[in-house]
Amino acid sequence: MMDNYDDDLPSKSELKRIDQARKQLGIRLVGLNNNQLHRMNLNENLIEAVLLAQKIKKKSEGYRRQIQYVAKLLRQEEIEEIENRLEDLLKPSKKHIQLSHQIEQLKEQLLLEPQNTIQQLLLTYPQMQSDVQHIRQLIRKIKKTDSHDVTSYHKKLFFLLKTYIN
């Protein structure tokens, strides 16, 4: 009697996994800001549903139901395509990574040879003149303080450099 069973149809468990994946994708979409959401090129009903879910408290029953509705709307979409666009949107670009590496190298160079590096920076970024004293203070604090506080000074120096190099 089991001869009529069709192996091509997904099992109930497989359907549940697919539905759960849609819900997870919906939650990831809800986590996007408006600019990112509109760059995803989703249909208007899906965008409206996601925007509404963003306004609802996450611990409420209404949020759960709204996520289910978003997942239902995702049934009409190509999930793989949306996931690929989301990954492309969220992964840092090569340019961003290269910029971060450049700033890190510059920061290390500042710690090794502060005077020469600051002079080179001023030639390249003359607008940095107003923050030279702050940069020197951060370098002194990094060299002087114990390992507990050093991380915050490294971050401050990194972000200060990033404002000019960006």
Average pLDDT value for residue range 39-47: 91
Residue 137 or 6, more confident: 137
Average pLDDT value for residue range 68-77: 94
How far is the CA of 51 from the CAs of 21, 26, 97, in angstroms?
20, 11, 30
pLDDT of 5 > 90? The answer is no
SS3 28: helix
Phi, psi of 106 (to 5 degrees): -65, -40
pLDDT for res 1:
46
Nearest-5° angle of CA 27, CA 33, CA 35? Answer: 130
User: Domain spans of the chain?
Assistant: 11-90, 94-165
Mean of pLDDT over the chain? 89
